[in-house]
């Protein structure tokens, strides 16, 4: 504790004095409390999703050959393993002759590469793209977000996740 003589010898001058030390002590205690309890929240962000139009179903319609501006609709089917990871992925264009589509395996890198190639092709044709993810029930959210994230990064803005079997949900 600091000590100050309020009245100095040999003069009538009285200096007002504010005891700073207790305030500093308290401030340090507060500072220590906030430093110890400080936990910076991780920066969160959002991914916008379009909900499917039909109740529980896929937003699939028959393409009209006359409609040039209609987006090309790609459907990625993601089968989930029992532990919630990706088992297998296939990609097909809506209304394509081969309904099974192209096999992408379980690799997210293959999925991204395929989508990036399709997106580049759409950009050349000047057409918008739409992506529907038909996802197995057991797939965990971490992989769902990963697939949507890769889809957006590949250039698709309209992404709808739907279950493989909508009647079950």
Say whether residue 38 binds other proteins (CB under 8 A).
yes
Say whether residue 149 binds other proteins (CB under 8 A).
yes
Q: Output 21 or 121, the one with its CB closest to other proteins.
A: 21
Q: Output 2 or 62, the one with its CB closest to other proteins.
A: 2
Q: Output 1 or 97, the one with its CB closest to other proteins.
A: 1
d(CA 52, CA 61): 12
Which CB contacts under 8 angstroms, 24+ apart, belong to 117-120? 118/72, 118/74, 118/154, 119/154, 119/155, 119/156, 120/155
For other proteins, the binding residue among 27, 61, 85, 121 (CB under 8 A) is: 27
Tracing tokens 């009538």 back to the chain, one arrives at: 12
Say whether residue 83 binds other proteins (CB under 8 A).
no
Helix (H) or strand (E) holding 9: none
Q: Output 17 or 125, the one with its CB closest to other proteins.
A: 17
> At 78, phi and psi to the nearest 5?
-115, 110
Number of CB atoms found within 10 A of residue 144's CB? 17
- Return residues touching other proteins (CB under 8 A): 2, 8, 11, 15, 20-21, 23-24, 27-28, 30-31, 34-35, 37-38, 40-52, 55-56, 80, 84, 135-142, 144-146, 148-149, 152-153, 161-163, 168-169
């Amino acid at each position: 504790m600091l000590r100050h003589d309020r009245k100095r010898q040999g003069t009538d001058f009285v200096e007002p004095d504010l005891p700073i030390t207790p305030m500093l002590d308290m401030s340090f205690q507060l500072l220590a409390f906030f430093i110890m309890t400080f936990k910076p929240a991780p920066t969160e962000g959002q991914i916008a999703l379009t909900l499917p139009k039909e109740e529980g179903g896929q937003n699939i319609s028959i393409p009209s050959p006359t409609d040039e501006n209609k987006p090309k609709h790609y459907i990625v089917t993601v089968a989930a393993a029992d532990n919630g990871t990706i088992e297998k992925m296939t990609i097909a264009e809506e209304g394509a002759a081969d309904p099974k589509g192209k096999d992408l395996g379980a690799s997210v890198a293959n999925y991204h590469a395929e989508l990036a190639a399709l997106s580049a092709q759409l950009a050349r044709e000047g057409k918008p793209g739409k992506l529907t993810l038909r996802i197995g029930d057991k797939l965990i959210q971490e992989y769902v977000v990963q697939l949507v994230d890769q889809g957006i990064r590949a250039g698709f803005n309209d992404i709808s996740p739907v279950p493989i079997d909508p009647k079950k949900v």
